[in-house]
Structure 1
Amino acid sequence: MTDDELIAAARAAAGHSYSPYSGFAVGAALRFTDGRVFTGTNIENAAYGPTVCAERVAVFKAMSEGVRGGLETVAVTGPPGKGGGSPITPCGVCRQVLTELAQLGGTDPDILCVGDHEVRKVKLTELLPHAFGPASLK
């Protein structure tokens, strides 16, 4: 799957968002070195605290299927026109969860931050330098 196809998968996932409070539908798609792709979308809750971001939904789907590493690329999309149409990045909690999965496989995945007319490609370690992870507990 190409980066463009991964972005399209993230956009399609955003179509299933449950975001009645923020109106900010987010989609995420994770590509692994073995070719598998897992998608997720944000799920809001009236109590706000139980809300789950798209990236975490995708990570949890992958891990619930037994994936423990091999994270290669992540695409994150937001709703067109919102936030000025600028590329969006994973929130801090999602960066931590992505780091856990990446460190299990010793990878530093590309993060495709998608906006209306621009895609910024950055490494996960650029978004969360000096991250706490599994090795920190040894």
Structure 2
Amino acid sequence: MAKETSKHRDRSGTRPFKGQSLAELLSNTRAVKRLTLRDVQEATNDEVSNAYLSQLETGRISRPSPNVLSALARVYALPYELLMERAGYIAPSPAGSELRSASPRSQGGTLRFANETLTNEEQEKLLEYLAFLRSKRPTRK
């Protein structure tokens, strides 16, 4: 049991989307956003219970319904297509488009620094660093 938990709870923040299973993606995203299981349950209007989300994050449930994925995509601000892909409902995107489709641009914005638009590589590095910084914060109780 400990092995399975550690496998799905890598919160190092490196490579935010690439190569992560659905369980890892959900767990890492919730950690970066500093949400509890109950916070997510509340944010989905009880559409996703904290117990069900826990099972998703540990990989006990690997193919939730599209409705559940839609609710989680809204709460986590992730592309619905990315979650559908990780759950096995749709074919994977072509190589290299994964981070681009999951970037803030798909949410209507582009990451910017001063007056310069960041490249995809810069965005990836910035998101990795942000995840690292957030992982170092003391946990709230």
Fold equivalence (TM over 0.5): no
Q: Which has the larger radius of gyration?
A: 2
Structure with greater strand share of residues: 1
Looking at both structures, which has the greater relative contact order when contacts are Cα pairs under 8 Å and sequence separation is at least 6? 2
Band of TM-score, shorter chain:
under 0.3
